[in-house]
Copies of this chain bind each other. A is one copy, B any other.
């Protein structure tokens, strides 16, 4: 299951995601491909994103918005969304193990992972607001 077939279109999609640091949606990726002069079929972009996700070169993020976002940062991390401007930033601070432990005890689940989405106001929007 390790074989990797990076076609022109998959490579181009991967490059976009790798070089974007704003967690782009499929539509974002599409626009950036067009800006670079590519004109792939709509479905190809989705297929490529799915392929890259399956091969674990990128991650799909479901943050509670209408569209999935994509992330080439693979280390385990969480996200925070600005309620004012909508930007999505990284949260590297790890979930406390004691908390997962408490949840396992409380629920009786074997807890495998946690997806956390923080909400708040980013520093830029904070300064704009105080004006």
Seen from chain A, the residues whose Cβ lies within 8 Å of a Cβ on chain B are 62, 64, 80, 82-83, 89-93, 95-96, 98-100, 102-104, 106-123, 126
Assuming the A-B contacts A80-B109, A110-B126, are A117 and B115 also in contact, with contact meaning beta carbons closer than 8 angstroms in the complex? yes
Known: A62-B64, A91-B106. 12 other contacts (CB 8 A): A80-B107, A80-B111, A93-B102, A96-B98, A100-B118, A107-B122, A109-B120, A110-B126, A111-B119, A115-B117, A115-B118, A115-B119
Contacts of A126 on B, CB cut-off 8 Å?
110
Does B119 lie within 8 Å of A112, measured CB to CB? yes
Does B110 lie within 8 Å of A119, measured CB to CB? no
Contacts of A82 on B, CB cut-off 8 Å?
109
Assuming the A-B contacts A62-B64, A99-B99, are A93 and B106 also in contact, with contact meaning beta carbons closer than 8 angstroms in the complex? yes
Contacts of A62 on B, CB cut-off 8 Å?
64
Complex CA gap A115/B126 in Å reads: 21
Assuming the A-B contacts A64-B115, A115-B117, are A108 and B91 also in contact, with contact meaning beta carbons closer than 8 angstroms in the complex? no
